[in-house]
Amino acid sequence: MAKSRLIGEYPVIGIRPTIDGRRGALKVRESLEDQTMNMAKSAAKLFEDNLRYSDGEPVKVVIADTTIGRVAEAAACAAKFKKEGVDITLTVTPCWCYGAETMDMDPMTIKAVWGFNGTERPGAVYLASVLATHSQKGLPAFGIYGHEVMEADDTTIPEDVKEKLLRFGRAAVAAATMRGKSYLQIGSVTMGIGGSIISPEFIEEYLGMRVESVDEVEIIRRMTEEIYDKDEYEKALKWTKENCREGLDKNPEEVDGIKVRSTAEEKEKNWEFVVKMMCIIKDLMNGNPNLPKGREEEAVGHNAIAAGFQGQRQWTDFYPNCDYPEALLNTSFDWNGAREPYILATENDVLNGLGMLFMKLLTNRAQIFADVRTYWSGASVKRVTGYDLEGHAKDADGFIHLINSGAACLDACGEAKDKDGNAVMKPWYEVTEEDQKAIMAATEWCAADNGYFRGGGFSSRFETKAEMPATMIRLNLVKNLGPVLQIAEGWTVHLPEKVSDTLWKRTDYTWPCTWFAPRCTGEGPFATAYDVMNNWGANHGAISYGHIGADLITLASILRIPVCMHNVPQEKIFRPSAWNAFGTDKEGQDYRACSAYGPMYKTIK
């Protein structure tokens, strides 16, 4: 796998095997040593076999040197975990233990406890006791208890326990990975969009990250003073010329005697500009040791795990737009082949960029940035095209048009295929050369719409011509409430070509196009696709492959961000056990618990 672009180690999961500390003639502790340590080893193997960091490497798991029966052993475990860089702990036990003596007391670790469901020893009793103690001490922990009674010598992990362990592991690794990293804004507020009005307090206190800012003129300075990797630029330009075919130029030659359309020579210069721009944005985010001698300061970068680019209006009125860098950086490959996708939010919508980051860290897949542009009802589609909706779109009484110039990853065209020939957006380390060729063949680059982008440039254009499971989210900040998260699981919709073209041309035919049908319940904000659109909290959405709403709910609870809207089945919701003390309705619990505990990284409360 690739070397991590970021400074700092990835979070480590620590397994804490706790045990009944009683010794004596009946050897209570001694009789449980093997079973307890085997639970720890089984959990560690499950994590190592199924979870990966964003660079593609398996997660690192460490186990306490001994079982933990008394406080001295808990302290020895904590000391080891501190040296190993453990940010996440899973306590496992098949038996009764001394709760307050054996529990993880570190306020900064993300915690879960798995109590074995067996009859010989009361693992469930310890689980209930220690979770109550966690709640009493203000240290939220996830509780994991299998549905079926197991035999004492059974070392397999039941499927329901696996699901919760992996959900906890994915979410905890995602949350801990963000710690100490940066969000880099290049520019500032875009066209008055609230999502681009950055809140350092939110990013610092809820995510444990920092905000870095540079003016867009820094890109021009680096171009002018040749502060970039010339070898990489030449390689990137060659690849671009060979793989990025030009598409439609919708601009007229001139209007009222004013030249509008770029000449072939101007387009050639624009290609050179946007490729160089992409190289420089990469350098700004994560540095580059290959910059010219004497540019050591620029070579270090900003340790950015995500970034945003303002663009409109001041930049795009004068310079080529950032659509090429945004689209390609967010994609799972470039001229160097498959590599970890970047997160670069168009219009510097930091809240949408952070939503993309959440889902990238949960899935290791490229993410889509789009306007939540238009709701099309079944009746409207029928009136305009004569087509009767089918499948998921019919079930939702319509669909939502996801379209925007800029940061949709090219993977979203759906041309990559799994072993059964189904359209898929793969984890980046599974993307093959064949996938890359198919994706590039399905994408063309249209001359930028001069009405939006007077400085020229190019916009990626493709259509998602496949039905794929997808999850759309939006992170919003609300005055006197704080951050909230919206989640809508659904599917991309493949429309007949004539129908799609007719509808697409009513918006902008030179931008990437995805039709999305949320899974509707017939009630509230998920009554129909219209209600999803009508209750959406902002103009943008972040979209990921797969139905990952349950993982997002778990991640949001770790970050203390309440979920204000979702269509995830209730049985899939997994939050810390303390949430159950805040009422009987799941969403009310979430709001009250997040308010009571507050952001993990807030230093003044």
| Whether residue 381 sits in one domain with residue 396 | yes
pLDDT at 2: 66
DSSP letter string, 421-463: S-B---BGGG--HHHHHHHHHT-EEEEP-TTT-TT--EEEE-B
Residue 7 lies in a domain: no
Beta-bridge mates of residue 417:
423
Q: Is residue 104 part of a domain?
A: yes
Give the whole-number percent of the chain exceeding pLDDT 70. Answer: 99
Which residue, 135, 161, 178, sits at the end of a domain?
178
pLDDT at 428: 98
Tell whether 257 and 293 lie within a shared domain. yes
* CATH number of the domain within which 127 lies: 3.40.50.1070
Final residue in a domain of this structure, among 148, 178, 208: 178
| pLDDT one-digit tens code per residue, 359-382 | 999 999 999 999 999 999 999 999
Rounded CA gap, 117 and 148, in Å? 7
Q: Is the pLDDT of residue 453 over 90?
A: yes
Number of C-beta neighbours around residue 200 at 10 A: 12
CA-CA distances (angstroms) from residue 83 to 71, 87, 139? 19, 11, 22
Residues 438-461 have a mean pLDDT of 95
pLDDT grade for 301, boundaries at 50, 70 and 90: very high
CB 331 within 8 Å of CB 412: no
The verdict on residue 565 lying in a domain is no
Cα 4–chain centre separation: 17
Q: What is the CATH number of the domain that holds 319?
A: 3.20.14.10
Residue 601 in domain: no
pLDDT for res 44: 98
Percent of the chain scoring above 90 in pLDDT: 91
Residue 584, pLDDT > 80, answer yes
E-assigned strand segments in 260-323:
304-309
Q: In terms of Cα–Cα distance, which of 163, 197, 165, 133 is closest to 578?
A: 133
Report pLDDT for 150. Answer: 83
The set of residues, in sequence order, having a beta carbon less than 8 Å from that of 449 and lying 6+ positions away, is: 250, 251, 405, 459, 508, 510
Split into its structural domains, the chain has a count of: 2
Contact 359, 489 (CB under 8 A): no
Looking at the fold, whether 171 and 217 belong to one and the same domain comes out as no
Report the candidate in 173, 410, 406, 185 with the shortest Cα–Cα distance to residue 306: 185
In terms of domains, do 319 and 453 share one? yes
SS3 26: coil
Claim to verify: residue 159 and residue 227 sit in the same structural domain? no
Question: Is the same domain home to 154 and 263?
Answer: no
Q: What is the chain's mean pLDDT, rounded?
A: 96
With beta carbons less than 8 A apart as the criterion, state whether 351 and 341 touch.
Answer: no
Identify which of 386, 408, 412 has the alpha carbon closest to the alpha carbon of residue 503.
386
Q: Residue 585 falls within a domain, yes or no?
A: no
Residue whose C-alpha is closest to residue 552's, from 216, 171, 297, 220:
171
Expressed as residue numbers, the domain containing 23 is 12-178
Report the distance separating Cα 60 and Cα 85, nearest Å: 10
| Pair (156, 275) in one structural domain | no
DSSP 3-state of 258: strand
Q: What does the alpha-carbon distance between residue 332 and residue 431 come to, in Å, rounded to a whole number?
A: 7
User: What are the C-alpha distances in Å from 124 to residues 114, 146, 149?
Assistant: 9, 9, 11
- Place 119 in a pLDDT band, splitting at 50, 70 and 90: low
Active site residues: 347, 371
- Please tell me the distance from the alpha carbon of residue 460 to that of residue 465, in angstroms, as a whole number: 15
Same domain flag for 200 and 147? no
| Mean pLDDT of all residues in 207-221 | 98
Residues 139, 25 share a domain:
yes
Name the β-bridge partners of 345. 308
pLDDT digits (tens, 9 = 90+) for 310-348: 999 999 999 999 999 999 999 999 999 999 999 999 999
Query: Could you give the angle at the alpha carbon of 44 between the alpha carbons of 182 and 14, nearest 5°?
Result: 50
Euclidean distance between the first and the last CA atom of the chain, given in angstroms as a whole number: 42
Tokens of residue 18, six digits: 């706790």
Is the domain of 121 the same as that of 188? no
Q: Determine, yes or no, domain membership for 571.
A: no
Phi and psi of 226, rounded to 5°? Answer: 55, 45
- Asked, as a colleague might, if the bond just before 313 is cis with ω within 30 of 0, I would say yes
Cα-based distances in Å from 235 to 5, 14, 68, 333, 386: 20, 43, 55, 14, 48
As a whole number of angstroms, the distance between CA 201 and CA 203 comes to 6
Size of the chain in residues: 605
* Pair 167, 249 in one domain: no
d(CA 492, CA 462): 14
Confidence of residue 227 (pLDDT cuts 50, 70, 90): very high
Give all strands (DSSP E) within 262-398, no chain letters. 304-309, 333-334, 337-338, 344-346, 368-376
pLDDT for 498-514, tens place per residue?
999 999 999 999 999 99
Angle at 223 between CA 222 and CA 226, to 5 degrees: 75
CB 473 within 8 Å of CB 488: yes
How confident is the model at residue 1, as a pLDDT? 55
- What pLDDT digit, counting tens, does each position of 462-479 carry? 999 999 999 999 999 999
Q: Is 433 part of a structural domain of the chain? A: yes
Q: Both 161 and 196 in a single domain? A: no
Burial (CB < 10 A; 0-12, 13-18, 19+), residue 159, is exposed
* Helix (H) / strand (E) containing 489: strand 482-493
Which domain-ending residue is among 126, 148, 178?
Answer: 178
Task: Give pLDDT tens digits for 42-81.
Answer: 999 999 999 999 999 999 999 999 999 999 999 999 999 9
Confidence class for position 153, pLDDT limits 50, 70, 90: confident
Q: Which two tokens stand for residue 25?
A: 């003639």
Does some domain include residue 593? no
Report pLDDT for 148. 86
